[in-house]
Structure 1
Amino acid sequence: MARTRKGVIAAAGALSLAALVLTGCAGNNGNPLSNDSGSKGSSGTITVGSAAFPENAILAYIYADALSDAGVKTDVKANIGQRDRYIAALKNDEIQLVPEYTGNLLQFLDSTSKVSSSDEVYSALQTAVKNGGGGKLDAGKAEVLDQAPGQDADSYNVTKKFSDDNHVTSLADLKNVKGELKVAANPEFATRPYGIPGLKSTYGVSATLTPINDSGGANTLKALLDGSVQLADIYSSDPSIAKNNLVTLADPQHLIAAQNVVPLISSKVASAKVKDTLNKVSAKLTTDQLSDMLKKSYNDKEASDQIAKEWVKANGF
């Protein structure tokens, strides 16, 4: 992911939610790492980062709150940006922990990987992280802990009208659609294996990208609903899919790999207590819970840190 990823039909609602994606999830304005000079991992504090969408910020606060309750000093730097930025921050010791998604992280670290099931992806990811992911991490200095049963994957979505008019319920059906196909997604979708290149190589479908940098949020949804694009990459746990009666296209060739939530952590702070606490968090995180937390974020406008506190308390940490 990551990555949310983040009513929304009306223009005002879309703009409001877009603001939430950019600012509400983090409690930080501008660059959340801008005031970190000289404090890299120096105080015994684990700094938890997040990508720039609400679900990931909520998970970062969950990690931080659970660790704090276990007696570990933590800080949160949410809303850092896309994967390239926060992985660099982890490598540079600006942060020491970040919630991740197994399939997308694996493809980021090893673009040659072809595995797709949860267990295969997790095993390959452990190896890729250990080996440093082609230099994107330092070999032997980071690790992934237990993966959660909960997943939040990229998913291709169309409107119900487009699905009915074109008899499309699967990515494989797209090759029979006449006319141009545009996909709204983050800019990196142009090169990701599960993005535009994967549509062509796996399904024989030619499409062009309409880059919208909100991780499947309000502006991406608006482009789909107003017909500017025919497909939109929206995270599978996003409540806007059900709310707007969107059709998530089946992926019979497993273009999109499993996307279990997993902690990515600097090995230097991965003590037995830290690992045990985070593994207990992962064991309790389900896909339904991810969706419920996003409903609180999008529909009820609850702050990410408050949603996290509620989850941590409800789950006995």
Structure 2
Amino acid sequence: MKRSSILALTVAALVPLSACGGGGDPLDAETSESEGSAEDGGSTDDDGSTDDGAAGGGDVGEVVVGSANFPENVLLAEIYAAALSDAGVEVSTTLNIGSRETYMAGLEDGSIDLIPEYTGGLATYLNPEITVTSSEEVLAEAQENLPEGLQLLQISEAEDKDSLVVTSETADELGLTSIADLEPHAGDLVLGGPPEFESRPNGVDGLREVYGLEFAQFRSLSAGATLTVQSLVNGQVDVANIFTTDPAIEENDLVVLEDPESLFAAQNVVPLISTEKVNGTVEEALNEVSDALTTENLTEMMVQVVTEGQDPAEVAREFLDENL
């Protein structure tokens, strides 16, 4: 089944990321503040950056940083907030908002101003018929379809992709190395993932269209939570949608199946921000974060947060002190 067959999937116009779980209201989420001020700003270039002197110039006031409701996104939001505060910008945080549908609504109604995003998930949410997969093409696709008043800044090298994961025992027993290898077995297997994975174009529907997979059952699990890994290890699900930076993959000797048809597009971490909150100070601070983030150091920080149980704000502080 070719990648272009995903074009038929019009059902998922309101799909969240890989990276996002259930609902929530920004007004009900956790909030904290730090004091500061901001400087001049600029206009948008093709790569999502801005030039000095354009929209958002001058003091942008308080910037409300939001996050989706899974640990990695909370960590990234804490990094963004601390970097902006260090630069003298007044910041507050609204964490664990929920899925993409919820936090995109918050960005559009102004209840939050900035959120860590993932290019592929955002691009697919904005256009379910997306067929491009490379980092540059996916970024361009996302930028082209952004709602008015929002913009993407510089993408980072750090990438956290959706993946299908099985235990090493299952991989050995069924001879699995890629998603395509699941085709003769899927009818006997239970697939687990976040609720949104059942309807997103690169989820259950995409697996059916692109790889011809018809699983026996889909079991809804929390995004980015230990429940998914536990369900896989305990045999409650046979295949699971797990983010590639999850330290539990290595800790449990799990096998990430290759994606030869590129169902899962590039997922570079990128700041998504209200244009009116962009000035030179804000952009420079967030671009420095993007310059410093890599998949490797993001995965290391996730070990600290998820495995060791450290406070995401403290891990964010340590990252900034060491890298900026």
TM-score range, shorter chain: 0.7 to 0.9
- Extract unaligned runs of 5+ from structure 1: 6-20, 23-29, 37-42, 133-138
Partner residue in 2 for 1:145: 153
Aligned length: 279
Partner residue in 2 for 1:261: 269
TM-score, normalised relative to structure 2: 0.82
SS for the counterpart of 1:80 is: coil
Is the counterpart of residue 97 in structure 1 residue 91 in structure 2? Answer: no
CA gap of 1:256–1:295, structure 2 versus 1, over 3 A, is same
Equivalent position to 1:211, from 213, 220, 229: 220
Partner residue in 2 for 1:292: 300
Is the counterpart of residue 68 in structure 1 residue 85 in structure 2? Answer: yes
SS for the counterpart of 2:272 is: strand
CA gap of 1:252–1:201, structure 2 versus 1, over 3 A, is same
Deviations 1:150-187 (A, max 9, x none): 10011100011110000011001011226422211111
CA distance in 1, matches of 2:29, 2:308: 31
CA gap of 1:179–1:35, structure 2 versus 1, over 3 A, is closer
CA distance in 1, matches of 2:281, 2:170: 51
CA gap of 1:273–1:84, structure 2 versus 1, over 3 A, is same
The percentage of aligned residue pairs carrying the same residue is: 40
Partner residue in 1 for 2:72: 55
SS for the counterpart of 2:64 is: strand
SS for the counterpart of 1:33 is: helix
CA distance in 1, matches of 2:258, 2:235: 21
One-letter code of the match for 1:205?
L
Contact 1:2 1:83 in 2 (8 A): no
CA gap of 1:35–1:150, structure 2 versus 1, over 3 A, is closer
CA distance in 2, matches of 1:49, 1:298: 20
CA distance in 1, matches of 2:212, 2:224: 24
Q: Pairwise CA RMSD of aligned residues?
A: 2.1
Equivalent position to 2:28, from 34, 40, 44: 34
CA distance in 2, matches of 1:31, 1:296: 28
One-letter code of the match for 2:214?
S
Partner residue in 2 for 1:248: 256
Partner residue in 1 for 2:315: 307
One-letter code of the match for 1:146?
Q
Is the counterpart of residue 222 in structure 1 residue 230 in structure 2? Answer: yes
Contact 2:118 2:267 in 1 (8 A): yes
- Extract unaligned runs of 5+ from structure 2: 1-16, 31-59
